[in-house]
Amino acid sequence: MTTAPAASVLFVCIHNAGRSQMAAGFLRHLAGDRIEVRSAGSVPGDRVNPSAVAAMAELGIDISAQTPKVLTTEAVQASDYVITMGCGDACPYFPGKHYLDWTLDDPAGQGVEAVRPIRDEIRGLIDGLIAEIDAKSALSQEN
């Protein structure tokens, strides 16, 4: 018997090439199938930032096969959590969704040394997000 994911999370940044890809990679790695993961960008780049790929690979997380995707209204509607990382007004708003804005430096054009602290900050935010989702899931199972 398969169980539905506890939540669906959409990470959004402008190019969907760095921050949102690292966040999605961490969430997939740490939560497995318990949480559905999406990422998108308001103006997607042509590839994932190589420094982000290298920084994640240092932790054993491979995001090299990911590709930037365009942000769609459908992706927002299908997500319980919408986490923005610098996309501003480009993110559509729907009532009933849980919106978070994570203020993170943009890794675009940065070397892996500059990306590591951004990666590590994202990891901490992901740990907190998983704890929040797990707590809400446990609460809903009790009721």
Neighbours of 8 (CB within 10 A): 18
How far is residue 113's CA from residue 26's CA, in Å, rounded to a whole number?
A: 19
Which of 6, 9, 12, 13 does the annotation list as catalytic?
13
Which of 10, 24, 35, 87 does the annotation list as catalytic?
87
Which of 91, 112, 122, 130 does the annotation list as catalytic?
91
- Going by their DSSP bridges, the two strands 7-13 and 35-41 should be labelled as parallel
How far is residue 111's CA from residue 124's CA, in Å, rounded to a whole number?
A: 21
Neighbours of 73 (CB within 10 A): 9
To the query of whether residue 134 is one of the catalytic residues in this protein, the response is: no
To the query of whether residue 124 is one of the catalytic residues in this protein, the response is: no
How far is residue 37's CA from residue 26's CA, in Å, rounded to a whole number?
A: 10
Instruction: Give the residue carrying structure tokens 């923005």.
Output: 84
- 3-class DSSP state of 112: helix
**Active-site residue list:** 13, 87, 91
